Amino acid sequence: QKEVEQNSGPLSVPEGAIASLNCTYSDRGSQSFFWYRQYSGKSPELIMFIYSNGDKEDGRFTAQLNKASQYVSLLIRDSQPSDSATYLCAVDNSGYALNFGKGTSLLVTP
């Protein structure tokens, strides 16, 4: 079974700080990497996707991918209380459907 590992948290950061969320994966054939945000009682919504090694920035969010280390991360700058949610890392299963991690719970305190 191909694995996607995340620290379940909760990760607590003060408002305005940088939140760093990490994910490792086991399938070296994976090509597509996604970060979804899930508020309590809601369905997942896409935050970022990344396909190439390096960094990809979108507003306050930066996704980082290192395929050699099988590691993908999400940085949230200037964290806001509204960013408090569970962040799911998802990795394609060698071109087939996505494997999701268990998610990291983020709490941004005012």
Partner 1 sequence: EAGVAQSPRYKIIEKRQSVAFWCNPISGHATLYWYQQILGQGPKLLIQFQNNGVVDDSQLPKDRFSAERLKGVDSTLKIQPAKLEDSAVYLCASIKGAWTGETQYFGPGTRLLVL
Which residues bind to partner 1, rule: CB under 8 A? 4, 8, 31-32, 34, 42-46, 49, 51, 88, 90, 92-93, 95-103
Beta carbon nearer to partner 1, 45 or 58: 45
Q: Under the phi-then-psi rule, with left for phi > 0, alpha for psi from -120 to 50, and beta for the rest, what region is 103?
A: left
Whole-number Å distance between alpha carbons of 23 and 74: 9
Please state the closest distance from residue 20 (CB atom) to partner 1, in A: 19
Tokens for 10, please give them: 């909760």
The least CB distance from residue 17 to partner 1, in Å, is 25
Token output for 60 = 């306050």
| Complex with partner 1: residue 8 or 26, whichever CB lies closer | 8
**Closer of 16 and 31 to partner 1 (Cβ):** 31
Q: How far apart (Å, rounded) are the C-alpha atoms in residues 110 and 23?
A: 26
